[in-house]
């Protein structure tokens, strides 16, 4: 089992992990950004943001900057962006947003592991949520991150792959899900949680740098909602009972990922813009509340509801102009 006969080894791993996380958290203390995390549908730990997620916002120069590469570079202003070659296909902004949303959903899902494990958790619960954490940030998620490498480079967005890889390590997951009342273990668990929140803040920063229009982030959100439906289909019975807690939590996290695509620092330039963003938030938050089940009671919504919302969201996005300024005309 994950618990037995691993204390000494775990503490050694914990020291190594602590060095990495401490370095990450030191930079976090230098930022007083007050933006809220999107994983608001579970316990709400104190928000942690980091200067390690900062990137240059002077995009007017960076978006058209030529790199020492023979391939053409396209900026993302109404076009694909990235190096256009067989090895590095172009990726448009909506695809980049979807990728960021998926990574954030995986990170939120991983972080929520701690919500479901108490210090008195049974071995079977520890095993369930250890597997959940491992399935949340896995090779597929790291591959999605890799698809954004050129987007990050061309827009001067600071990378955070090393942090993702650290969370995905078996020794990190073992500590995060360990059944222990030891103060040092609790401290390490808190550091892991905070590190995951820094990743979410990094993603929020990247989205703000890309400056998506409402049409773009709502279209990307509709894709995230469909992704959620696929997991919830495996998580809920026909009468709304949760049959697979891990899949259910991942599905909810993907809805949170859809919400996280709204840029934190966007300014509504007219009432119509505000109403569009608010409708997207309200509809998405409502479905989460209906899908969340407490005390083993059936959820009030089912998979058909999430697919219907995804379609409604997509249809709403299709009616919007390409540029936000045109909404106000």
pLDDT at 239: 84
Task: Mark whether 267 and 194 lie in a shared domain.
Answer: no
- In a shared domain, residues 169 and 115: yes
Would 56 be classed as within a structural domain?
Answer: no
Q: Give yes or no: residues 78 and 173 share one domain.
A: yes
**Residue 190 and residue 315 in one domain:** no
Domain end residue (candidates: 158, 183, 211): 211
Tokens linked to 25? 């958290």
Interhelix angle 161-168/93-111, rounded to 10 degrees, is 40
Which residues contact residue 327 at a Cβ distance below 8 angstroms, ignoring those fewer than 6 apart? 214, 270, 272, 273, 276, 320, 321
Instruction: Give a yes or no: residue 49 inside a domain.
Output: no
Where a domain ends, among 163, 185, 211? 211
Structure tokens at 99: 């990728």
pLDDT of amino acid 65: 39
Considering its fold, how many domains does the chain have in total? 2
pLDDT value, residue 195: 96
Those residues whose C-beta lies under 8 Å from the C-beta of residue 104, and which sit 6 or more positions away, are 38, 199, 200, 203, 204, 256, 257, 260
Alpha helices in the chain (DSSP H): 7-28, 59-62, 93-111, 123-136, 139-146, 149-154, 161-168, 170-176, 183-210, 214-235, 245-259, 271-291, 303-318
Q: Which domain holds residue 302?
A: 212-323
What rounded mean pLDDT belongs to the chain?
A: 78
pLDDT band, residue 4 (cuts 50/70/90)? very low
- pTM over 0.95, yes/no: no
**In a domain? residue 54:** no
Question: Are 173 and 198 part of one and the same domain?
Answer: yes
- Flag the least confident range among 135-139, 235-239, 293-297: 293-297
- Is residue 226 domain-shared with residue 186, that is, in the same domain? no
Q: Residue 119: pLDDT above 90?
A: no
Is the separation of the CB atoms in 291 and 251 below 8 Å? Answer: yes
How far apart, in whole angstroms, are the C-alpha atoms of residue 74 and residue 21? Answer: 36
Q: What is the largest CA-CA distance in the chain?
A: 67
The SS3 assignment for 74 reads: strand
Residues 16 and 112 in one domain: yes
Tokens 């409502």 belong to 286
**41 is a domain residue:** no
Residue 49 confidence (pLDDT) above 80: no
153, 28 contact by CB (below 8 A): no
| One domain for residues 150 and 15 | yes
For residues 80 and 159, membership in a common domain is answered with: yes
**Is 264 within the bounds of a domain?**
yes
**pLDDT of 216 above 70:** yes
Within-domain flag for 37: no
Contact between 85 and 71 under an 8 Å Cβ cutoff? The reply is yes
| One domain, residues 200 and 307 | no
Q: Is residue 45 part of a domain?
A: no
User: Please, which residues bridge with residue 242 across strands?
Assistant: 236
- Domain assignment present for 299: yes
pLDDT over 90, % of the chain: 57
Whether 152 and 159 have beta carbons less than 8 Å apart is answered as: yes
Query: How far lies 85's CA from each of 72, 73, 91, 158, in Å?
Result: 8, 10, 11, 23
Q: Is the dihedral of CA 203, 136, 109, 213 positive or negative?
A: positive
pLDDT score of 63 more than 90: no
Looking at residue 211, the DSSP 8-state letter turns out to be -
Q: Please tell me whether residues 164 and 102 are part of one structural domain.
A: yes
Domain identity same for 244 and 273:
yes
Indicate the residue among 176, 211, 246 that finishes a domain: 211
């Amino acid at each position: 089992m994950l618990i037995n006969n691993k204390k000494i080894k775990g503490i050694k791993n914990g020291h190594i992990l602590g060095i990495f996380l401490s370095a990450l958290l030191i930079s976090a203390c230098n930022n007083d950004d007050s933006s809220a995390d999107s994983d608001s549908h579970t316990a709400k730990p104190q928000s942690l943001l980091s200067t390690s997620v900062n990137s240059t916002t002077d995009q007017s120069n960076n978006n058209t900057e030529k790199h020492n590469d023979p391939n053409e570079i396209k900026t993302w202003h109404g076009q694909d962006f990235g190096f256009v070659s067989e090895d590095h296909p172009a990726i448009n902004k909506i695809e980049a947003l979807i990728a960021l949303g998926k990574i954030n959903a995986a990170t939120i899902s991983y972080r929520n592991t701690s919500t479901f494990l108490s210090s008195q958790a049974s071995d079977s619960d520890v095993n369930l949520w250890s597997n959940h954490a491992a399935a949340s940030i896995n090779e597929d998620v790291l591959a999605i991150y890799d698809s954004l490498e050129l987007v990050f480079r061309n827009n001067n967005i600071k990378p955070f792959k090393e942090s993702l890889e650290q969370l995905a390590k078996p020794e990190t997951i073992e500590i995060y899900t360990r059944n222990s009342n030891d103060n040092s273990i609790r401290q390490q668990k808190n550091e892991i949680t905070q590190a995951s929140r820094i990743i979410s803040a990094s993603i929020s920063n990247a989205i703000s740098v890309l400056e998506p229009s409402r049409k773009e982030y709502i279209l990307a959100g509709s894709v995230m909602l469909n992704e959620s439906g696929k997991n919830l289909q495996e998580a809920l019975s026909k009468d709304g009972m949760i049959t697979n807690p891990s899949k259910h939590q991942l599905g909810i996290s993907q809805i949170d990922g859809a919400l996280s695509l709204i840029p934190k620092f966007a300014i509504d330039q007219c009432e119509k813009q505000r109403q569009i963003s608010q409708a997207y938030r309200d509809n998405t938050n409502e479905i989460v509340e209906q899908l969340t089940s407490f005390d083993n009671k059936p959820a009030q919504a089912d998979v058909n509801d999430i697919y219907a919302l995804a379609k409604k969201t997509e249809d709403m996005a299709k009616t919007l102009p390409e540029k936000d300024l045109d909404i106000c005309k």
